Chains A and B, each alone.
Chain A
Amino acid sequence: QKEVEQNSGPLSVPEGAIASLNCTYSDRGSQSFFWYRQYSGKSPELIMFIYSNGDKEDGRFTAQLNKASQYVSLLIRDSQPSDSATYLCAVKRGAGSYQLTFGKGTKLSVIP
């Protein structure tokens, strides 16, 4: 069974610090990777996608992908209390498929 694993947390970081969220996946053939943010009681909101090895930066967010290690991460710089949410890692199931497999999410708390 193809799986996406995340540490459920909670991960607590002080305001202004860097938050590091990690995700591993089991399907070596996966090509596309997504990070979503979900506030309590709300639906997921896309933060970033990445499909090439290396880093991809967008504002305070950096996604990192290492296909050899089957590992994808999300760094949040200058963390703000408003970043407190659950972060979901999602992996596209394979070529020709649009379905995503989600991890269980990591709950992040940014302490003022």
Chain B
Amino acid sequence: GAVVSQHPSRVICKSGTSVKIECRSLDFQATTMFWYRQFPKQSLMLMATSNEGSKATYEQGVEKDKFLINHASLTLSTLTVTSAHPEDSSFYICSAIIQGGLAFPDTQYFGPGTRLTVL
């Protein structure tokens, strides 16, 4: 299957700092990537859709000024959690869609996730 990487896998930071998470598609180009958040024992909640070369589309209730998304190339999207607070502690997961190729075009492939802990 397609490979999506995320970095870092874990991050611990102090309250008030900003944290950047990278999501890369390693063997395909992804014009569309997604950012999810998952709290313990909960399902994945879509935060935003990241489109290469344009502004991200945020889901209702997600603060776009707090969760900055940049999709500057066909293989990289970044999520920056600005002024992080303990309630932002969560598992952040990105996914990417394969454009064309043999895979079903709607299929999302997930990165390994980033566990953020804000002290």
Residues on B with C-beta less than 8 A from A90 are 108
Inter-chain CA distance A102–B100, complex, in Å, is 24
Inter-chain CA distance A104–B42, complex, in Å, is 6
Given that A45-B110, A46-B109, A92-B106 are known contacts, is A99 also in contact with B49, CB under 8 Å in the complex? yes
Residues on A with C-beta less than 8 A from B34 are 98-100
Inter-chain residue pair count (beta carbon < 8 A): 49
Count A-side interface residues using an 8 Å CB cutoff: 22
Q: Chain A residue with minimal CB distance to B42?
A: A104
Which 5 residue pairs of A and B lie closest in terms of their CB atoms, listed nearest first? Answer: A43-B113, A104-B43, A43-B110, A102-B43, A102-B44
Count B-side interface residues using an 8 Å CB cutoff: 20
Q: Would you call B8 an interface residue if the criterion is a C-beta within 8 Å of the partner chain's C-beta atoms?
A: no
A44 contact from B93, B97, B106, Cβ within 8 A: B93
Residues on B with C-beta less than 8 A from A42 are 112-113
Residues on A with C-beta less than 8 A from B43 are 88, 102-105
Residues on B with C-beta less than 8 A from A102 are 43-44
Q: Chain B residue with minimal CB distance to A45?
A: B110
Inter-chain CA distance A92–B49, complex, in Å, is 14
Residues on B with C-beta less than 8 A from A46 are 1, 107-110
Residues on A with C-beta less than 8 A from B108 are 34, 46, 90, 98, 100
Q: Would you call A49 an interface residue if the criterion is a C-beta within 8 Å of the partner chain's C-beta atoms?
A: yes
Known A98-B49, A99-B46, A103-B43; 20 more pairs at CB < 8 Å? A32-B104, A32-B106, A34-B107, A34-B108, A36-B110, A43-B113, A44-B93, A45-B110, A46-B108, A46-B109, A46-B110, A49-B106, A49-B107, A88-B44, A92-B106, A98-B97, A98-B106, A100-B34, A100-B108, A101-B46
